[in-house]
Amino acid sequence: MTNPGNPKRVAYIVKAVQYRKELTEEEHKRVEDLVEIYADIFACSLSEVLPIPGAQHRLNIPEDTTFNLRIRQRALTPPQAKFLHGRIDEMLAAGIIEKAPAEQVKCCATTVSAQKAHEQGGLTLEELQYKVNEQYTKHGQPPAFILPERKVQEAPREALENKPL
């Protein structure tokens, strides 16, 4: 739909990709160069995601299987509903999904609307792995991940002096 090598598109993608803050300047530059080289594999919008002719998604479910057709979902907040309906409209317009008649619906499930961790400044992968290991150890299990010893950061002196006893 668009020229994947268009310099403006490539520059947009290089800028839009989120890079780890722990990268050195040299590493950051090398990763940006790779993103620039392979910019054609990134989509700037859902309209750039093209369907594969003849591809179908099928689930191997026995004919006599029954599913719950009633869902007990909490109402979405207005911002959640606006976001979800906007995304659904985008996917419909791009041809990624299509409307299904009610008689074709075999199962219903609740919708979970949550921001991605990297959009909220969530934990890094390493921090998450340390937390998982802490929980495993707490419950008498061996660590799930082999990680280097975590350096204990000392609290600033003012924080210690002002801490109530």
Taking every pair of C-alpha atoms in the chain, what is the biggest distance, in angstroms? 69
DSSP-derived secondary structure letter, 69: -
- 70 & 110 share domain: yes
Q: Is residue 156 part of a domain?
A: no
Q: Is residue 158 part of a domain?
A: no
- 61 & 109 share domain: yes
For residue 136, give its domain range: 117-149
C-alpha 81/C-alpha 94 separation (Å) is: 20
C-alpha 148/C-alpha 137 separation (Å) is: 15
Write down the pLDDT at residue 121.
62
Number of domains present in the structure of the chain:
3
Q: Is residue 162 part of a domain?
A: no
C-alpha 141/C-alpha 79 separation (Å) is: 41
- 122 & 101 share domain: no
Q: Is residue 157 part of a domain?
A: no
Write down the pLDDT at residue 38.
92
- 84 & 133 share domain: no
- 98 & 74 share domain: yes
Q: Decide if 138 contacts 131 (C-beta within 8 A).
A: no
Nearest to 72 by CA among 110, 100, 98: 110
Q: Which amino acid does the sequence have at 60?
A: N
Low-confidence ranges of the chain (pLDDT < 50): 159-160, 163, 165
Write down the pLDDT at residue 2.
67
Write down the pLDDT at residue 37.
92
Write down the pLDDT at residue 48.
80
Tokens found for residue 128:
């998450």
- 131 & 105 share domain: no
C-alpha 21/C-alpha 126 separation (Å) is: 13
Q: Decide if 133 contacts 147 (C-beta within 8 A).
A: yes
- 98 & 63 share domain: yes
Write down the pLDDT at residue 161.
52
- 110 & 58 share domain: yes
